[in-house]
Structure 1
Amino acid sequence: MANTETALKEAMAVIEGAVGVALVDYTSGMALGTLGGGKHLDLNVAAAGNTDVVRAKLRAMEMLGLQDEIEDILITLGGQYHLIRLLKARGGNGLFLYLALDNQRANLAMARHQLRKIEAELEV
């Protein structure tokens, strides 16, 4: 089992094109841990903003009466992919992993696969 710090380090090391990663509590909008980012990607601001995305999608699913779970939310930008993965593993309720990728270097399918693996190993 990996703790938050180990999981974030693994994401940055093994996911090709990773620019930044965060573990976020979407009940509060606070990042519980971040790694990467930089001048043009403030992961704390991204955590708060993407919390709104998750909440909006959950509300829409409720209004539609969808009895399903969100696996990933993908946002494609001109130069980046932003991947939000809601945690289902032990103790992960109310949390998501946020991953920003350089779309010129990233393989989206592999990034999703590796993020799913990191989630499975994460102990919160």
Structure 2
Amino acid sequence: MSNIDKVLGELMRIDGATGAAVVDADSGMVLGMAGNPSFSLEYAGAGNSEVVRAKLRTMSNLGITDTLEDILITLTTQYHLIRVIETPGMSTLFVYLVLERTRANLALARHKLGEQTPKIEI
């Protein structure tokens, strides 16, 4: 049984969080979302799927065998965190978290994201 909504609710308690989503990187489909950022989480999820796939492809082409944990995108007013979820034998999933830069503590947000992401059950 999926607990996506519960985990997303916990992520929305992070100071400065405005939106969060769980996304299937292979299809770009949003499996769950919370919050109300100033843009479409569905569109952002699909777009960031391309980012995740490009990074994984680049790592493979370079022979890098490390596991991709997260990607940080910094904007002038926001942080966008992408945390890849290990799902052996399944699609590549990731959690997408949007934070207001003036209110968020990036280190604490990354810590809490890393803490909550393994709790996701599909």
What TM-score do you get using the length of structure 2 for normalisation? 0.92
Distance 1:92 1:119 in 2: 16
Q: Is the 8 A contact 1:89 1:122 kept in 2?
A: no
From the superposition, tell whether residues 59 and 8 of structure 1 become closer, same or farther in structure 2 (CA, over 3 Å). same
Q: Is the 8 A contact 2:25 2:91 kept in 1?
A: no
Sequence identity, in percent?
52
From the superposition, tell whether residues 33 and 57 of structure 1 become closer, same or farther in structure 2 (CA, over 3 Å). same
From the superposition, tell whether residues 100 and 92 of structure 1 become closer, same or farther in structure 2 (CA, over 3 Å). farther
- Counterpart for residue 42 of structure 2: 44
From the superposition, tell whether residues 43 and 93 of structure 1 become closer, same or farther in structure 2 (CA, over 3 Å). same
Give the CA deviation at 1:119: 1.1
Classify the secondary structure of the residue corresponding to 2:12.
helix
Give the CA deviation at 1:90: 7.6
Q: Is the 8 A contact 1:71 1:85 kept in 2?
A: yes
User: For residues 61-100 of structure 1, what are the structure 2 equivalents within 5 Å?
Assistant: 61-88=59-86, 93-100=91-98
Distance 1:123 1:90 in 2: 13
Aligned positions, number: 122
Distance 2:91 2:49 in 1: 14
Structure 1 regions of 5+ residues with no counterpart? none
Structure 2 regions of 5+ residues with no counterpart? none
TM-align CA RMSD: 1.8
User: For residues 10-21 of structure 1, what are the structure 2 equivalents within 5 Å?
Assistant: 10-13=10-13, 15-21=14-20
Give the CA deviation at 1:112: 0.6
From the superposition, tell whether residues 31 and 76 of structure 1 become closer, same or farther in structure 2 (CA, over 3 Å). same
- Counterpart for residue 118 of structure 2: 120
Runs of 4+, deviation exceeding 3 Å: 89-93
What TM-score do you get using the length of structure 1 for normalisation? 0.91
Give the CA deviation at 1:88: 2.0
From the superposition, tell whether residues 101 and 91 of structure 1 become closer, same or farther in structure 2 (CA, over 3 Å). farther
